[in-house]
Structure 1
């Protein structure tokens, strides 16, 4: 898995590519911690446009990230989930929670 971080206008965007699973979930936690260590963003976006796979450990990492940032008063949004990842998130009932509503959610610019 590869994670690229971008910050602009109070929004931190983590672009996640590859596979989010048991072996890579800790990397997501590390990147989120680093993103929150500096100036706190108003919004944390995890962009899944290049995320090819997400297992139960990956889902757990996303839900824990959602909980962690929203408890700090930071908005959270998962965007661009597609294919098997999107379907898995739908079947587990967390897609709407992570995207902020029905569907994929709008892009935050």
Structure 2
């Protein structure tokens, strides 16, 4: 279980959810953009469950802290975690893929050396 500190308040949520949220916020920050995402939380004062809409991006100040809680208290939402991971991956910088493999020596290379460059 993780405690999320955000906008002067604190919320409890599952570890996988908190980690995915922080990764998404970091990816948005690198891109200089913002996003909103709803996260299931347990309020620490009374234990009630609700959903909080987090606005995250370059100016987000999100801090998480691992807390000891029973396994039954851990909030889980695999679909949300997968969605956050997907959104984070979409924000990753593009890198060209090169083929550094061994050249295929079976095929003849046909250059026309008479062409002007």
- TM-score normalised to the size of structure 1? 0.30
Determine which structure has greater relative contact order: mean sequence separation of CA pairs < 8 Å that are 6+ residues apart, divided by chain length.
2
TM-score, length-scaled by structure 2: 0.28
